[in-house]
């Protein structure tokens, strides 16, 4: 879809006379939003007026839906970068990373963000959809091929809230088919949502402890002191993490480092204060991390330094109370400790099969660390 579209209302009279749309208007059934958010999808049929586009190099579109979508002026839309101050709708034509950042900056502020593209790309759609989850902002995408309709409809499984297509049979059929598929998915998702429980700290049983070769290990040195019992939640997958204790326990061979968590292999995740996750390799001085104790009491501390070195690893595999498996890969050293079910720090070199550890399980899918309503499997 070429050119940079913009939302500006024209008069209903002009559209009724057919001056701005080729072909007769066709009424398109539209889905209604239900919870979980975004499972239904609206279909907007747009007729392009090629003649009007020639004046300013913009695309003028006539909306042919049953009724105007909330927040979007109708019946005529002029698609040009910018916002309509009277409607709460924002259109962003994406051709660069800066355009994507513009779209993301409107999340939580605009009622609708409508995306169009110089060359279609799923990555910006996914990133805006992920950012908009949990906010009042709805996302629409202007789509110019049936294949792209399916991509937009199920971006991160959640999908956009609306697709806008030209009134051609192939595009309309694809859009309505994807809407039907979303409605079918909605019923299953609502049932899952009703049975989903909040998963915080729990207890898991160790099923294997074994050497894991040599790799890059991360020490997170905090700009604040840890209390005994505190540490960071770390795991090889975002769904299952173990509580890695800070270096606050005295040792006969090395002094304590009460600001440090030896968090293990660089690929692992840790939990952040806002509920998102981040790879250990992405952390940097000035970032804030979540520090937790065995009771689940948490606080935020800023990182002062990251220290990465080649070290031998141990892999600790555990199974939670629901039979789901997790793993944490830590340096093979006496000063690295997990927390047992009683809340006591236990050196990884002393952990054995059958021991019980404090862990966290959360099967929420994630995109770039943000929780999303999507099924993601990691091993």
Q: Is-contact 156 367, C-beta < 8 A?
A: yes
Give a three-class secondary structure readout of 10-38. Answer: CCHHHHHCCCCCCCCCCCCCCCCCCCCCC
For range 52-74, the mean pLDDT: 43
- pLDDT value at residue 180: 76
For range 107-128, the mean pLDDT: 84
Residue 25 has pLDDT above 70, yes or no: no
Lowest-confidence segment of 119-133, 146-160, 185-199 by average pLDDT: 185-199
Q: Which two tokens stand for residue 191?
A: 């049932």
d(CA 3, CA 318): 54
**For residue 269, which phi and psi values (nearest 5 degrees)?**
-95, 155
Residue 24 has pLDDT above 60, yes or no: no
Q: Identify the residue whose tokens are 């609306």.
A: 162
pTM, to two decimals: 0.48
Residue 2 has pLDDT above 70, yes or no: no
**Calculated CA dihedral for residues 13, 15, 18, 23, nearest 10 degrees:** -150
Q: Is-contact 251 334, C-beta < 8 A?
A: yes
d(CA 41, CA 153): 7
For range 197-204, the mean pLDDT: 68
Domain ranges of the chain: 12-195, 201-372
Q: Which two tokens stand for residue 277?
A: 């996750």
H helix runs in 196-282, sequence order: none
d(CA 292, CA 122): 36
- pLDDT tens for residues 210-235? 999 999 999 999 999 999 999 999 99
- pLDDT value at residue 183: 72
Question: Is the alpha carbon torsion for 300, 262, 276, 242 positive or negative?
Answer: negative
Mean pLDDT (the chain, rounded): 75
Question: Is the alpha carbon torsion for 85, 90, 94, 99 positive or negative?
Answer: positive
Class of domain 201-372: mainly beta
- pLDDT tens for residues 287-305? 999 999 998 888 999 999 9
């Amino acid at each position: 879809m070429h050119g940079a579209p913009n939302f500006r209302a024209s008069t209903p009279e002009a559209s009724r006379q057919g001056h701005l749309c080729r072909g007769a208007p066709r009424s398109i059934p539209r889905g209604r939003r239900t919870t979980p958010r975004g499972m239904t999808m609206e279909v907007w049929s747009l007729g392009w007026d090629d003649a009007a586009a020639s004046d300013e190099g913009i695309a003028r579109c006539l909306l042919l839906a049953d009724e105007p979508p909330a927040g979007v002026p109708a019946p005529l839309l002029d698609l040009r970068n910018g916002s309509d101050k009277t409607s709460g709708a924002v259109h962003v034509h994406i051709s660069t990373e800066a355009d994507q950042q513009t779209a993301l900056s409107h999340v939580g502020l605009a009622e609708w963000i409508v995306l169009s593209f110089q060359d279609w790309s799923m990555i910006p759609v996914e990133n805006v959809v992920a950012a908009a989850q949990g906010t009042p902002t709805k996302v629409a995408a202007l789509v110019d091929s049936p294949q792209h309709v399916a991509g937009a409809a199920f971006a991160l499984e959640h999908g956009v809230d609306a697709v806008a297509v030209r009134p051609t049979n192939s595009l309309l059929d694809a859009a309505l088919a994807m809407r039907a598929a979303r409605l079918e998915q909605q019923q299953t998702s609502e049932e899952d949502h009703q049975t989903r429980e909040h998963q915080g700290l729990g207890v898991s049983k160790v099923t294997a402890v074994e050497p894991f070769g040599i790799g890059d290990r991360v020490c997170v040195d905090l700009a604040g002191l840890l209390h005994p019992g505190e540490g960071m939640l770390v795991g090889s997958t975002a769904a299952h993490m173990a509580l890695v204790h800070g270096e606050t326990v005295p040792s006969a061979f090395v002094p304590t480092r009460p600001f440090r968590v030896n968090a293990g292999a660089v690929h692992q995740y840790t939990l952040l204060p806002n509920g998102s996750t981040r790879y250990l390799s992405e952390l940097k001085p000035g970032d804030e991390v979540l520090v937790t104790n065995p009771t689940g009491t948490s606080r935020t501390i800023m990182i002062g330094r990251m220290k990465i070195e080649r070290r031998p690893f141990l892999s600790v595999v555990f199974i939670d109370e629901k039979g789901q498996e997790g793993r944490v890969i830590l340096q093979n050293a006496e000063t690295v400790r997990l927390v047992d079910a009683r809340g006591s720090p236990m050196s990884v070199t002393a952990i054995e099969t059958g021991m019980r550890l404090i862990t966290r399980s959360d099967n929420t899918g994630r995109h770039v660390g943000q929780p999303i309503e999507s099924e993601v499997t990691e091993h």
